[in-house]
Amino acid sequence: MKGTYLGEFQEVVLLTILVLEDNAYGVSIQEEIEKRTGRSVSRGALHTALTRLDEKGFISSEYGGATAERGGRRKRFYQVTNLGKSALEEAKALREDLWSSVPKVALQKVQA
């Protein structure tokens, strides 16, 4: 099911938006991801992910008030939609299902 497939980065973005609660906009999402994962994220890459999520209906957005530090430009705040939340749960359930099916033995690290 191509339309609702959730890519790894997209999943991270979705979760970050949930973490940030009411303060999820471009810069904060970017910084939060960088802080938590330690990888640098360009605004361009983030934009692409947000656009894809928006197209799938996983997030919605609205403009906030303008602030001076942004040259008078408004922030766009993102929220995760119900559809997005169930997509996240689905992804999580899929993994848990997989985790529980993995035999313990297989997880033991091989001694070299």
Partner 1 sequence: MNNRPPKYFTRLLAWFCHDDFYEELQGDLEEKFYSNIQQYGQRKARTQYRLEVLKLLRPSVAKKFRVQTQNNNIAMFKNYTLVAFRNLSRNRLFSAINIFGLAMSMAVGLLAIAFVNEIYSFDQFHENKGRIYRINNVRTFLDSAPQAYASTSLLTADRIRAEVPGVERVSGMFKGFSGDLATGENNYSFQGYYTDEEFLRIFSFPVLQGDPKSALKEPYSIVLTQTLAEKIYGSTDVLGQTLERNGKEYTITAVLKELPKNTHFHFEALASLSSLRNNEQTTYLFNWSTMWSSYAYVLMQENANMSAFEQSLNQIASQENAKMEQQSIALTYERLNDIFPGDGKYNQVWTVVPKSNVNSMIILALIVIVSACFNYANLSIARSLKRAKEIGVRKVVGAKKSQVFTQFITESVLVSLLALVLAFFLFRLIRPEFLSLNYYISRTTTLELTTTTYICFVLFAIFIGFLAGTTPALIMTRLKPVTIIKGVSNMKIGGGINIRKVLIGIQFILSIGFAVLVSLAYKQYQYALNFDLGYNTEAILNVELQGNDYEIVKAAFSQIPEIESISGSAFLLSTGSTNSDYAKLPEASDSVVVYSMRVTESYTSTLGHQLVAGREITSQLKTKQMIVNEQFVEKFGFKNPEEIIGKTFYYYNDHRMVVGVIKDFHYGTIYNDIQPFAFIQPEENQLYLTNLKLKSADLPATLEKIDDAWSEIDTHHELQASFYSEDIERTYQTLSSSMKTYGLLAIIAIGISLLGLLGMAVYTAESKIKELTIRKVLGAGFYHLVALLSRSYIWILVIASAIGIPIAVYIFKTTIANNIQYTISIGFWELAGGALMVLTVAILTIGSQATKAALTNPAENLRNE
Euclidean distance between CA atoms 25 and 4, whole angstroms: 23
Chain positions 2 to 21 lying near partner 1, rule: CB under 8 A, are none
In whole angstroms, give the CA distance from residue 95 to residue 82: 20
The whole-angstrom separation of Cα 96 and Cα 73 is 42
Q: Does 42 bind partner 1 (CB under 8 A)?
A: yes
Closest to 18 in 3D by CA, of 72, 89, 104: 89
Decide: is 25 part of the binding site for partner 1 (CB under 8 A).
yes
- In the bound state with partner 1, the residue whose beta carbon lies nearer, of 23 and 86, is 23
Residue closer to partner 1 (CB basis): 66 or 94: 66
Nearest to 21 by CA among 91, 65, 77: 77
108 near partner 1 (CB under 8 A): no
Looking at residues 55 to 84 of the shown chain, list those that interact with partner 1 (rule: CB under 8 A): 67, 69-71, 73-76
Q: Choose, by CB under 8 A, the member of 7, 36, 37, 47 that binds partner 1.
A: 47
Q: Which helix (H) or strand (E) holds 48?
A: helix 43-56
Interacting residues toward partner 1 by CB under 8 A: 25-27, 30, 42-45, 47-48, 51, 67, 69-71, 73-76
